[in-house]
Amino acid sequence: IKRINKKAMYQLPGAKRKTKANFVCFIDQSGSMSDEDIAQLFAELENLAKETEIDVFHFDTSIDHTSHTKWKRGRTYPPHRTRCGGTDFSCISRYLNKQENRGRYSGCLILTDGYADKMPQVIGTKVMWVITHGGTLEAIRPGDLVVKMDDPKKVKPK
């Protein structure tokens, strides 16, 4: 769909804008996350990366900037751990609310089990929570999108 020229309506072609969604994903690496949960989350990210590029960070009480990877279509990344402390979601909101990151991402995915305090407000970015099958929904804020994963042992293969 092209945007109609306001000065010469329907006489001059409008401008076609290319929009691309930028997503950032934060993977919880705390001690409460099992290796199976992290492997399942990595598999979901591979499926999401088929549609768009995703910036991925690991976090526990702080964001691990050395773990930053840009997931692209067709590439596989082995599940791995870089942290194993507690969980604090306020480091994510601090990162997204920094002046240089404000408005940079259209969406933020947080892959976690949800065992932590609620995250403070995030400005300019939609937040989606992906909770593992054994996780809790207590950390979810009103207005955020939530997905609770099924137990992989109970899912029937197609």
pLDDT one-digit tens code per residue, 20-70: 788 899 988 888 888 888 888 888 888 878 778 889 999 988 998 898 888
CA distance 44 to 71: 12
What's residue 16's pLDDT?
A: 66
Q: What is the mean pLDDT of the chain?
A: 83
What's residue 41's pLDDT?
A: 82
Q: Is the pLDDT of residue 151 over 80?
A: no
pTM exceeds cut of 0.85: no
Q: Is the pLDDT of residue 142 over 80?
A: yes
What's residue 97's pLDDT?
A: 92
What's residue 156's pLDDT?
A: 62
Which range, of 74-83, 113-122, 136-145, averages the lowest pLDDT? 74-83
What's residue 1's pLDDT?
A: 53
Compute and round to an integer the Cα radius of gyration of the chain. Answer: 18
What's residue 127's pLDDT?
A: 92
- Alpha-helical segments (H) within the chain: 35-48, 90-97
Beta strands 54-59 and 126-131 are unpaired
Q: What is the largest CA-CA distance in the chain?
A: 63
What's residue 11's pLDDT?
A: 72
What's residue 13's pLDDT?
A: 67
CA distance 46 to 5: 40
What's residue 134's pLDDT?
A: 85
